[in-house]
Structure 1
Amino acid sequence: MKNLLLTAALLFVGFTTFAQTAFEKAMTEKIAKVEDHKTPDEFTALANDFDRIGTKENTQWLPYYYAAFATIQKGRILMQSGKTSELDPVAADAEKYIAKAEALSPNNAELFILKKMTSGLRMMADPMSRYMQESPIAQQALAKAQELDPTNPRITLLQAEDAYFTPEQFGGSKAKGQELFKKAVDQFGTYQSKSSLDPKWGKGEAENFLSQK
């Protein structure tokens, strides 16, 4: 009987390890594609892939996090292409994924970072009329992220972008932005992610801004 119970326990452990490995393998493969993709359609497909992984696992917040992040990246490409009329539905999709992730991992700084980015997409859909509404929402989300995880370099990265693109008469400047990009790069050198699947993006973007004179 003891041998039978031991065998059953080992089988259970083996199955659990396999399931975790399969999840991590699928996530690792999809995460690697985030930086490779270049078009809105590619990011849409990737977000759908992450959503399916999340639905299958149903206890993991990271698939929904990356679904939201891929959707935000799609929005950034559309914004850079001048297709601002398409940003509202993209922001709505990102918020849907963030809500799913937040239900599994409340008070998560990484999700508040995404909330800040999503609010930025909504603002860029119509900057003149939405700045007063969306700017406080974005800043509150970033402040909450900083409260939860003060040394997170992605928070500093977003602060740097805000300063870099804000005119001096409104409190920003390229010089201030560059200082914060340097701080973000330094933070990336010491910041420890909680797992191999947790967010690590941002260092390359900070370094790219620093290389601009």
Structure 2
Amino acid sequence: MKKLFLSTLLFMAVSTYAQTNFEKAVTDKISKMEQAKTPEDFTAVSNDFARIGDKEKTQWLPYYYAAQASIEKGRNLMRTGKLTELDAIAAEAQNNLDKASDLSKDNAEIFILQKMIHNLKMMVDPQSRFMSEGMLGADALAKAEKLDPENPRISLLKAEDIYYTPEQFGGSKSKGLEMFQKSLDQFKVYQPKTTLDPNWGKGEAEYFLSNKP
């Protein structure tokens, strides 16, 4: 009995240590992603997350964050007008997001990133791709909302769409700001499932609301 008790304690200690190492690794890389500024920074972080995922094999979050880092790289390039690179970056993100999806089905956070990938692809040629990538993105966001209707990142992406869409196509700066406010209100009460789960987006909502005309 004493040996069994000691073996159980040893197993628990090893499990806790391994879990702590995993949590620390993911937390450290999230911090790096938050500090990233260049496409090269985001590439390095994405590769780091993917390596963690390949090592752990059963954890969806490293692949999720690897995909997010690629998306942020794409958004960084989009702001500087380098649109021709977005298809390749979207493919990088999709590769890791598919791995995350295989490990975590019906996950609103994964559908949210899927929407963002479609947005990247649409921005290569918005006029010709709106009916394809735009509709696929809207479908992904609708799936996310069905699974987690109070998720503030859903409202954040809706706000972006409304804010940046020209008025002749149904967009509105004022309605977009209203949706950013809704997102910020949701962030005040929304709780991630774990300390490692996605918790990004609040700063962007605050930015738009603090810089409104």
Alignment partner, residue 101 of structure 1: 100
2: CA distance, partners of 1:47 / 1:167: 33
> What's 2:192 paired with?
193
- CA deviations over 1:1-26 (Å, ceiling 9, x no partner): x1111111111110000000000011
Give secondary structure in 2 for the equivalent of 1:198.
Answer: coil
Using structure 2 for the length normalisation, give the TM-score. 0.98
* Equivalent residue, structure 2, for 1:111: 110
Q: Post-superposition shift, 1:118?
A: 0.2
Task: Return structure 1 stretches of 4+ with deviation > 2 angstroms.
Answer: none
Deviations 1:16-41 (A, max 9, x none): 00000000011111111111100001
The whole-number CA distance in structure 1 between the counterparts of 2:126 and 2:169 is 15
Distance in 1 between the 2:184 and 2:87 partners? 31
1:169: Cα distance to partner?
Answer: 2.2
Superposition map of 1:115-130 within 5 A: 115-130=114-129
Q: Alignment length, in residue pairs?
A: 212
What is the CA deviation profile of residues 41-94 of structure 1, one whole-angstrom value per residue up to 9, with x for unaligned ones? 110010000001011111100000000000000000111111111110100010
Counterpart check, 1:49 vs 2:48:
yes
Q: Does 1:67 align with 2:42?
A: no
- Residue identity opposite 2:40 in structure 1: D
The aligned residue for residue 169 of structure 1 is 168
- Spell out, residue by residue over 1:79-137, the C-alpha distance to the aligned partner (whole angstroms, 9 max, x if none): 11111111101000101011000000010000000000000000111122211211110
Please list, as runs of the form range in 1=range in 2, the aligned pairs for 1:131-146 lying within 5 A after superposition.
Answer: 131-146=130-145
Q: CA deviation at 1:168?
A: 2.0
Q: CA RMSD in A?
A: 0.7
The CA deviation string for residues 136-191 of structure 1, in whole angstroms up to 9 with x for no partner, is: 10100000000000000000000000010112222221000000000000000000
The TM-score with structure 1 as length reference comes to 0.98
Q: Name the SS of the counterpart of 1:23 in structure 2.
A: helix
For 1:115 and 1:170, the matched residues in 2 are separated by: 23
Q: What SS does structure 1 have at the residue aligned with 2:195?
A: coil
Percent identity of the aligned residues? 60
State the SS of the aligned residue for 1:150.
Answer: coil
The answer for the alignment partner of 2:32 in structure 1 is 33
